[in-house]
Amino acid sequence: MTAEADAHTHAHARTVLAKAADENFPVAPRFLPRVWRDDLMAVYGFARLVDDIGDGDLAPGGRDAAYLGLGGEQQEDRLALLDAFEADLHRVFRAPGAADAPPGEEPGHPLLRALVPTVHRHGLTPEPFLGLIEANRQDQKIRRYADFGELLAYCELSANPVGRLVLALTGTATPERIRRSDAVCTGLQIVEHLQDVSEDLARGRVYLPAADMARFSVTEADLAAPTANASVRTLIAFESERARQLLSEGGPLVDSVSGRLRLLLAGFVGGGRAALRAIRSAGYDVLPGPPASTKRGLLREVGTALRREG
């Protein structure tokens, strides 16, 4: 690879990783040890890229498809991209931990190459990564969810693997912590769905359970309106309470660890709670766009998480 091509590759990867600043919670804050930050960002790069593939949000120009060995019409075929991304992921687990992997074994995508040392350092398994890919495949095929149980099954693929990876990276996974982590991650996923109702609808997706929409007499036409009517606001308040309960169920995870990891997990829980507070402050009208939480609000909720679970 030429120096110019290498520079373009690194710039492309940095563009994806920069999206971490837009998340509801700090992905890899500076108070963490450098190796933890590097590992968390490697996992984030994977998760962000697979979501971008599933949402059709890849950078223009087809660079990601080229890294995965695809060209022509396949550059726009999300399922083909996900299949190629999964094949490249398997190279992560076949590649040696060193950067000089044998030809044909090193992943083609730079964000997956960056994941190789993390996987080998911690003995990670493919399952959580495959779950995230499968969630994005499901997004191409399933656009509506009949009830809350179906949505929870989706979150098992789309959200819970991330928390399990965090525990694996920090060497703190236990059955109880995994259970609490799953509750936090599912709660965070529901919060994101509530923030993105209009954006998801524009993509042809509705993550509000159909049974709940019927219960509160909400139609998809209501969700397409510029602002929420009383029925939509009541529905969003109902789903917000579900998310709050999940975050509370997972909250003791914060107190089960110590040191800087405790601060990180409090950031996840506090970020979700701050987003819920912003939704409530907006009168549960999420249709104009995601109600934004403030930095002060986030810090307040992180402090609350540390005290409440401490």
pLDDT digits (tens, 9 = 90+) for 118-169: 999 999 999 999 999 999 999 999 999 999 999 999 999 999 999 999 999 9
pLDDT (tens digit, 9 = 90+) per residue, 27-40?
A: 778 888 999 999 99
- What pLDDT is attached to residue 4? 46
Of 15, 56, 26, 37, the residue nearest 268 (C-alpha): 26
pTM for the model stands at: 0.89
pLDDT (tens digit, 9 = 90+) per residue, 271-310?
A: 999 999 999 999 999 999 999 888 898 889 999 999 865 4
Straight-line distance from the first to the last Cα atom of the chain, in angstroms, rounded to the nearest whole number: 51
As given in the structure block, the two tokens for residue 228 are 């929420």
As given in the structure block, the two tokens for residue 276 are 């819920």
With a CB cutoff of 8 Å and minimum separation 6, the contacts of 137 are 54, 79, 82
pLDDT (tens digit, 9 = 90+) per residue, 192-231?
A: 999 999 999 999 999 999 999 999 999 999 999 999 999 9
* Cα–Cα distances in angstroms (integers) from residue 273 to residues 20, 161, 168, 240, 297, in the given order: 18, 20, 24, 10, 9
As given in the structure block, the two tokens for residue 303 are 């402090």
